[in-house]
Structure formats: C-alpha cells, structure tokens
Amino acid sequence: MLSKNKIKFINSLRLKKFRDINSMFIAEGNKLVNEIISSELTIHFLIYTNKWGGHLKASNNIKELIETDETGIKKISQLKTPPNVIAVVQFPEYSFSISEISSQLSLVLDDIQDPGNLGTIIRLANWFGIENIICSKNTVDMFNPKVVQASMGALLRVKLHYLDLLNFFKDIQSNSDIPIYGTYMNGENIYKSQLSDKGIIVMGNEGNGISSGIEPFITNKIAILNFITGQQEPESLNVAVATGIILSEFKRKAN
C-alpha cells in the first residue's frame, strides 16, 4: 500500500536537497522504468497500478513493490498524464577518471539551466557515443524530474560529473594535451576545422555563452557557420541543437 508517509517522502524528492540527502530520484513511465529494471540500478520502491503490464517479484534490484490505483499514482506523479508505473531509484555510482577523459571525446557544460536542454544533450551524448559529461556546479541537476524525462534512458548510459570547472580544467591541462573546443561567434568554421577524436567540447550557458573564467582554457575556438543572407540581428542556435550539430560534425570526421 502507498502510505501517506511514502507519498510525502516520494514528493520530497522533487527537491534537489532531498534527492541529495537520500541519494534517490524518481523515474516515471513504462519505457523508462523498464530500462531501469533491466539495468543494475537499485530500485527502492516500484509503484504500479493494475494497468501496468510488468510481472515482477521483489529482488536485490527491487526492494519493495507497491500496488496502488490511479488516485495513488496521481498523488506522486509530476506528469500531466499520470503513468502506470513509477520507480524511486538509487543514484548510479561511477568513477571519474582524468585518464579516461584524456583518451576520449567528452562534453563540458558551463551552467546549462534548462532541464529540457540538459535532457536533450544527454540523449545526444548517448547517440554519439560520448561517455562522460562534466557539468559545472551551477548546471541544472541531472536528477531534476524534467531532465530525467527528457533524457529518456540515456541517463543510464552516460556518466555525468558535477565538478568545479576551474579545477577540472587545471587537472586536464596538467595531465594531458588534448584540445579544448569552445563555440564563439568569431571561431573557426567548424566545417573546415581539424577536429580531433579526443578532446573536450565546452557548451556555454543559454544566455551568456561560455563564462569568462573558462575562456583561457579554450585551445580551439570554433563556430557553426550560418547561411543567413542580408542584414539581420545576430542570431544564435539553441544550445541543445548546437550540441547536436557539433557532435555530428566531430563524429562524421572520426568515422
């Protein structure tokens, strides 16, 4: 049964503070929850209605199964259309390795604020085989419910590390010489640039771009050329869309 205390506890996880204290987040909906069940993550509560198709027993992976009705699900769901299944999941644990990052292509997010943008970027990272995303401390939380829903299962397959970016870049610089790419209006045309299959791509904040404290670490300034004709206001691309175009360009060359 879905007790009042459980409802209260689960709803507390809407806030980052309580997610962090408990190391738990909420995942809603059949597709996402099924992916979590097949993963190695621990599910503390699996709450479902009799309309849910899954047949499961409590196991090491699933601590507690709770059947409820649509009224019960509504009390804990944050979706417009409440799903038939919701899971309360233990944070994934994974290691952060400078030497791994020095041998791959990775993303750095410098204060991405919009949960939909972060979710889309996680999906893109997964699509293009990026294993690590380093986020500034002010980047929106990866376990924000809107990020979890927007990232789909990709959140389970990409490692996100929330770090002090200045320290991270100092670390990278003293341990490797991989290029650090950043997008600037006056950067080099990405279509004609030499793009490495190892390196770091920094994506800046939606309104302000890459912060001035990070700029000195950028070794390669790049730009996505626009094809706008005539006099116009300077335009910009949405950061998630720009990330997609840039990752595609890096990977097509490495391919």
Distance of alpha carbon 87 from alpha carbon 101, whole angstroms: 31
Shortest distance in whole angstroms from residue 251 CB to a copy of itself: 6
Distance of alpha carbon 138 from alpha carbon 227, whole angstroms: 33
User: Do residues 209 and 254 lie in contact, with contact meaning Cβ atoms separated by under 8 Å?
Assistant: no
By CB under 8 A, residue 209 contacts a copy of itself: no
Interacting residue with a copy of itself among 21, 58, 185, 225 (CB under 8 A)? 225
Site size toward a copy of itself (CB under 8 A) is 36
By CB under 8 A, residue 241 contacts a copy of itself: yes
List the interface residues with a copy of itself, window 130-159 (CB under 8 A).
152-154, 157
Interacting residue with a copy of itself among 56, 79, 191, 197 (CB under 8 A)? 191
The helix (H) or strand (E) run that includes residue 106 is strand 105-109
Question: What would the two tokens of residue 116 be?
Answer: 């939909």
By CB under 8 A, residue 120 contacts a copy of itself: yes
Which pairing describes strands 85-90 and 24-28: parallel, antiparallel, or unpaired?
Answer: antiparallel
By CB under 8 A, residue 238 contacts a copy of itself: yes
Draw the binding track, 35-64, toward a copy of itself (x: CB under 8 A; -: no contact): x-----------------------------
Distance of alpha carbon 162 from alpha carbon 141, whole angstroms: 9
